[in-house]
Amino acid sequence: MERKEKNFSPKQPETLRYRYNESTDLSSSMPILFERHFAISDVQRDAQTLPEPGSMFAEPPWQLDQLQRMKRVLNEVKSRLNNFNLVKWQQHTSRMNEAGDIVRAVKERTQGELVTQAWCKFYEIASNYSLVPLNEICRDDGKNFRSVHVCEAPGAFVTALNHWLKTNAPDVRWDWLATTLNPYCEGNSYDSMVADDRFIRHTLRHWCFGDDNTGDIMDLRNLDALVEKSESAADDGGRILLVTADGSVDCTDVPGEQESAVAQLHLCETVACMHLLQKGGNFLLKLFTLFEHQSVCLMYLLSCAFHQVSVTKPASSKGGNSEMYVVCMNFKGRDYVAPYLPILRHHYGNVPPANAMFSLRDIPDDFLRRIEQCSEFFKYHQCRVIMDNIKTFRSRENYSGAARFVRGLISFKYLEDCKLKKIDPANEIVGREIIERNNNQFMNKKLHVDSYNERCKRQNLGPQERLLQIWDNAKEIEEPSEKFYVWHLQALPDALEIQTGKLFNKVRSSRFCDLQILQILIKIDNVMQDMRTTVCFPPSEITREFAQQIDRNHEILSFQFVQDYDSHRTIAEIYDRLEKLQSEQTLILVGYPLLTQLNIGLLYLLGNTFNKIIVEVHDNEGYRLKLETYRRNEKVLNCLREILTASHNARQENKAIWSIMPMKVLYECDQFPAMMLLNHLMIKLYVRHVINTIGDKNL
C-alpha cells in the first residue's frame, strides 16, 4: 500500500513568544517554567471521532516528515552528551536546574510525607488543572471516590494526592489502589523497577501486584487481577474517578529511541485506565516525545475518549529531559470505548504490534497539526536547556549568586501558586517521621556512572576483559570485620504468610544485598552465559575435603551460591534433611545463599530447631552456617510440610514460593546487617574464583 505522507509548517504556539539567547536575563526564564502547557483537544473546539474498530492495527507503521525532523534535531543535541560522565553530568544539571530548590522548599513549608520530585510534579499538575474531578465527586451524596495509580513506586503521587485532598477538599472521602513492579520480587531487575519500599511496606493492603505477583502491568492477567480487585472494593469506596500512570523504562543505553522503547508500556497503561476509570473521571499519563506513530495514535485515542486533553511539563520537572504529562479530563465512559477494548486487549503486552494503531488517513489534519506544534514547543525548550547546560559544563562556570536568587524566586512562586501548607500529621497515610526513619539502601543509587560512549565500548569487550573490569569493582567490596558470629534467631510468628509468584531462576534483586554489589553478580553471570560455562562456588573440592573431616555427629547440606535459583528444591532438601536428622546432631549449611526472603525465612525456621547458629567465615569459600544441637520441633516440621505442599501446588501453576514471612519481620531481624555483609563477601569471592578458574590471571 502506498504510504500517505502529511507535512505541515506549523504556526508557532503562542507560548513560544519566550525567546532565549545568551543575553537573556535568567529571571526571564521563570514565566517559561510555569507556562509549559499545550492544549491538544477541547470538546468545545475539537470533536474527535474514533474510526471503526476493525480498521485498528490494520496498516503498516507510518511517519510524519516534520516530526522526524524534530527527532533528528533533538537527538543531535542529546548526542553531544555521549562523552559526558553520567554522574558528573547529573550533578551539574542538578546545580543548573532553575527549579532545583522546589523539593527542599516544599519539604520545609509542608513537612510533607514522602516529598520527592514526583510529589511536587503531581501537586503542581493538580493545582493547575482540575485533576481531581470535585464536581463529579460531589454528585455522590457521600462524596466518596477512589483513585488507581499505575507504575506508582515509591508512592509519591499517592501521598501528594492525600496532601492535596486534605488541603483543598477535606470533606471528600477517598480510597486508593496502586500497582507497580513488585520490589519484593527477586526476579524483577533493578534496571526495570523502583526498589524504594519505604512507603509500600506500610501500605501493602492498597497494592495489587497482579496474578503472578510481579506487578508487571504489561501482563494482561495482571491487569485483569487489578480490575477485579478494584471492583471488589467498589461497594464502599466510591467510583474510580482518577487514574495516574507514571511508568517508564531505563533508556540510558538507547537515549535516541526513548519514545519507541516506552511506547508499548504507555499503550498498556492507557488500556488499563480504560478498564478502570468511570465516566467523568480523569487520567494523568507520563509520556516523552511525540515523534512516532505510536505516540501520535495514542494521543488520538485519548483525544477521542476524553473531552479535553492537554500536555504539560511542570516547573518541577527537569527541563533537559523529554518528560511531559498528558492530562485527560472527563472520560466519555467505558460504554464509549467498549467496542475497541477487545482489539486493544489483543495487542496488549510486551510485544509491540506490527502495525500502527490507526491509519494516517483516519487522523484529521488539524489534529496532526496540533501534535506537530506541541512537539515543536517542547522540543525547543528541551534543546534550549541542554545547550545551556553544555555551555556551562564545559566552561566550568560557577553557579552565580544571581542564579541562586532566581532559584529562590521560582521556589517561592511554586509554593504560592500551589497554595501549599502543612496538614495535620494525623491525616498522613503512614507518617513522614516513620518513612524517614526507615533506612533504605535502595534510594537514589545510580547503576550507570560512565558515559554513553564508554558503555558502548564496553559492550564490545571480550569475556576476559569484561571479567577484569568486573573485578575492578568487586575488589573494593568491604569484607566482614568479624570471622565468627553467633546467632539466636527470634521466635517464629504465630502463623506463616506464604507468598507465591511467578517462577524465576535468577535472582535479579535482593533486599539483603546492596543493589550495586548485586549488579556485579548479575554482570558476571551474563559473562558466564555468553561463554557458555559455569563455575562451582563454593568450590566442590573444598566441600568434599571438608566433608571428609567431620565426624558422625555432623551433617552437611551443600548448596551452590550461584546456581540457578530453585525454591522448590531448597524447600524439599531442607525438609528431607531435617526429617532424618538425629537429636543433638549439628547441621552445616555450605554455600547457602542469603539473598532471598524465602531462604532467610527458612533459616528462621531452622533457627527454632537448634540451640544456636554459628557463622564461620572462610577465605576461599565464604561462610558456613553451623546449626548446633538439633532439637526436634513438630511445629517447625509442620510448617515445613505446609510450605512443601504449597510449593508442589505452586509448581502446578508454573509458580513458586517467594516468601513465608512478611518482609517487615525480616527487616527487623537483628542479623539483617550481617546477612548483607555475608552476601557481599560471597559475591566478591565468587568473582575472584571465576577469574582464577577460567581466566589467565591470579588475584
Instruction: Out of 416-420, 492-496, 504-508, 515-519, pick the least confident.
Output: 492-496
pLDDT > 90: what percent of the chain? Answer: 67
Report residue 5's pLDDT band, with 50, 70 and 90 as the boundaries: very low
Binning pLDDT at 50, 70 and 90, where does residue 336 land? Answer: very high
> Is a pLDDT exceeding 50 seen at residue 27?
no
One-letter amino acid of 283? F
Q: What is the pLDDT of residues 177-186, one digit of tens each?
A: 999 999 999 9
Could you give the CA distance from residue 562 to residue 506 in angstroms, rounded to a whole number?
9
Q: Is 320 annotated as a binding residue?
A: no
List the one residue out of 580, 535, 575, 539 whose CA is nearest residue 558.
539
DSSP 552-587: TTEEEEE--TTSPP-HHHHHHHHHHHHHHPPTT-EE
Grid coordinates representing 266 are 504507555
pLDDT tens readout for residues 362-393: 999 999 999 999 999 999 999 999 998 888 88
Q: What is the residue extent of each domain of the chain?
A: 62-436, 475-696
Which tops the pLDDT comparison, 33 or 684? 684
Strands 144-150 and 173-179: parallel
Predicted confidence at residue 139, as pLDDT, reads 85
Q: How confident is the model at residue 134 (pLDDT cuts 50, 70, 90)?
A: very high
Distance from C-alpha of 123 to C-alpha of 105, rounded to nearest angstrom = 14
User: ∠ at Cα 260 (254, 263), nearest 5°?
Assistant: 130
Region of poorest pLDDT, from 45-54, 192-201, 604-613: 45-54
Read off the pLDDT of residues 93-130 as tens digits, 9 standing for 90 and up: 888 888 999 999 999 999 999 999 999 999 999 999 99
* Residue scoring higher pLDDT (496 or 444): 496
Q: Decide if pLDDT at 439 tops 70.
A: no
Confidence of residue 494 (pLDDT cuts 50, 70, 90): confident
Per residue in 254-300, pLDDT (tens digit) is: 767 888 889 999 999 999 999 999 999 999 999 999 999 999 999 99
Strand-pair category, 306-312 with 37-42: antiparallel
The CA-CA-CA angle for residues 507, 508, 509, to 5°, reads 100
User: Which pLDDT value is given to residue 534?
Assistant: 87
Query: Average pLDDT for residues 74-100, to the nearest whole number?
Result: 85
Which tens digit of pLDDT belongs to each residue from 215-235?
A: 999 999 999 999 999 998 766
CA distance 253 to 214: 24
Among 474, 482, 499, which residue's Cα sits nearest to residue 690? 474
What's the N-to-C CA distance of the chain in angstroms? Answer: 62
Residue-level pLDDT at 482 = 87
What pLDDT is stored for residue 25 in this prediction?
A: 42
What's residue 26's pLDDT? 39
Residue type present at position 44: Q
pLDDT above 50: residue 398: yes
* For range 396-417, the mean pLDDT: 81
Check residue 527 and report its DSSP letter. H
Angle between the N-to-C axes of helices 117-128 and 401-418, in degrees from 0 to 180, rounded to the nearest 10 = 50
Tell me: pLDDT of 652 over 80: yes
Catalytic residue list: 286
Residue 14, pLDDT > 50, answer no
Q: Is the pLDDT of residue 469 over 50?
A: yes
Whose CA is closest to 34, among 308, 285, 310, 313?
313
Q: Residue 382's CB: how many other CB atoms inside 10 A? A: 22
- pLDDT at position 638 is 94
- The per-residue pLDDT for 562 is 79
Comparing 478-482, 491-495, 541-545, 671-675, which segment has the lowest mean pLDDT?
A: 491-495
Q: What pLDDT is recorded for position 252?
A: 66
Report angle CA 213, 158, 409 to the nearest 5 degrees.
140
Evaluate if residue 193 carries a pLDDT over 70.
yes
Query: Binding residue per annotation — 501?
Result: no
List all residues 6 or more positions away from 526 whose beta carbon is below 8 Å from its beta carbon: none
Which pLDDT band, with edges at 50, 70 and 90, does 142 fall under?
confident
Q: Measure the CA–CA gap between 116 and 95, rounded to whole angstroms.
A: 17
Q: Please name the fold of domain 62-436.
A: Rossmann fold (3.40.50)
Q: Any alpha helices (H) in 177-286, and if so which ranges? A: 220-232, 234-237, 258-276
Confidence label for 694 from pLDDT (cuts 50, 70 and 90) = confident
The interaxial angle of helices 117-128 and 156-168, nearest 10 deg, is: 40
130-132-135-141 Cα dihedral, nearest 10 degrees: -170
- Closest of 476, 483, 496, 522 to residue 604, by C-alpha: 496
- Give the count of alpha carbons within 13 A of 219, CB side only: 16
User: Is the pLDDT reported for residue 12 higher than 50?
Assistant: no
392-406, 480-494, 672-686: range with highest mean pLDDT:
672-686
Residue 256 among known ligand-binding residues: no
CA 431 to CA 76: how far, in whole Å?
Answer: 45
